Amino acid sequence: MAVSYTEHEITSGGARVVLSVWASAAPEAAIMFVPATMVHPLFYEALLHGFAERGFAVVGLHPVGHGKSPREVKRYTIRDIVGNGRDAVTFALERFGLPVIAFGSSQGGVVAAVLAAEDGRLAAAFPHNLLLTELPQSIYVSRFPRWLRHLYRPTRGVFKFCARILPDLALPLDFYMKRERISTSREIWDKVGGDPLCLTRYPLHFLGSLFTTEFPGLTDGSVRCPVYVVADSGDKLFTADYTRLVFERLRAPHKELVVFDFNDHMLMVSHPSEVSERLAGKMREALRLHSSVCASWTATPPSTAVP
C-alpha cells in the first residue's frame, strides 16, 4: 500500500509545533502518536509507516521543544505536552474526518492515557506503559533508591521545590533514569546519539512537572473509551509488577493489557513490524468496541482482558 509523508505546523499553547503525517489513500481511522522521553515521531518511522501501510493515517506529534518543533519555549510542562496532544487530535479529526486513537510510548504513553480521560473525542487509547505519580512505587521507574518509596511525599516536595528555584537547570537522562533499564542495545543508543533532533537534557522545570503532576481522571471514571495498555513482560523500566499495579487502578469502559515478550522497553523501535501488525488488529477491535461499550458504560466496574 502506497504511503505518503507530509509535515505540518500548528500552533499549540502559543508555540509552534510540528506534526509528521503518514497516510495511505483511504485510511480507516487515524492514530495520534506521542513519542517517548526526549525523542520524536521520526525516531519511530518504521513503526508509524507500518501502521499507515496497514490502513491507518498517523499523526506524529513533535511536542513543544522536541524534534522538529522550534526551540522557542524553554519552560514547558507535561501539561503542555498533553495540550499539544489535544491539538494534534483536533488536527487529525479535521484533516481526516475519521475516528482518532491516541497512541504513545513511555512518556508519550502517559500523555495518551491522560487524553483518554480528558478528551471525549477519542475512539480509543493505546498507552505503551502507564504511570500514576501519586503511587509511591512510581519511584521504581526512576534511578532513585527504592527505599525512597517510604519517603515518597517529601521526596516529591523536594523535587517540586528544586524545580521552582532552579527551573532552567538542564539535566541529562542519566540523572533520573538508568540507561540499561531502557535498553542494552548499542544500536539504539547510537541511533539516539547520532540524531540531532533528539534532546539530550530536560530542564528541571519539566522534570518537576513530570514527577509531581497527578492525573486523577485515570482512576475516577473519567475515561469514556477503550484503553489498551501495551507492555512487555521483560521490561526493566516499567516492570510487569508495576504495570499490573497501575492497570488495576485504571478505570475505563473496557481495558485490556496487551503484553509482548521481547524483554525490551524499546520494542516500538526494535520490533516495529511485529508491534504494528498486532496493535493494528487490536485497534480495529477497539474501534468496534467504542460505540457500543462506551455508550452503555455506567458505574459498573470496567471489564478487563489479558491475552
Grid-cell match 487502578, residue found: 249
- Establish if 173 belongs to a structural domain: no
CA nearest 8: which of 59, 66, 43, 49? Answer: 59
- Establish if 148 belongs to a structural domain: no
pLDDT greater than 60 at residue 101: yes
Say which amino acid occupies 260: F
- Classify 245 in phi/psi space as left (phi over 0), alpha (psi -120 to 50) or beta: alpha
Say which amino acid occupies 180: E
- Establish if 127 belongs to a structural domain: yes
- In the prediction, which pLDDT does 184 show? 93
**What is the biggest distance separating any 2 CA atoms in the chain, rounded to whole angstroms?**
54
pLDDT one-digit tens code per residue, 168-203: 999 999 999 999 999 999 999 999 999 999 999 999
Please tell me the chain's helix, strand, coil percentages from 3-state DSSP, rounded to the nearest 5: 45, 20, 35
- Establish if 150 belongs to a structural domain: no
- Establish if 284 belongs to a structural domain: yes
- In the prediction, which pLDDT does 1 show? 77
For strand 170-172 and strand 201-203, is the pairing parallel, antiparallel, or unpaired?
A: antiparallel
Range list of H helices, 122-271:
152-165, 179-182, 186-193, 204-212, 240-249, 267-270
pLDDT greater than 80 at residue 212: yes
- Establish if 193 belongs to a structural domain: no
pLDDT greater than 70 at residue 121: yes
| Domain interval for residue 12 | 4-139+214-305
The total of structural domains in the chain comes to 1
- Establish if 253 belongs to a structural domain: yes
pLDDT greater than 80 at residue 225: yes
pLDDT one-digit tens code per residue, 102-112: 999 999 999 99
- In the prediction, which pLDDT does 56 show? 97
CATH of the domain at 34: 3.40.50.1820
10 Å CB burial of residue 40 (0-12, 13-18, 19+) is buried
pTM of the model: 0.94
SS3 231: strand
- Establish if 47 belongs to a structural domain: yes
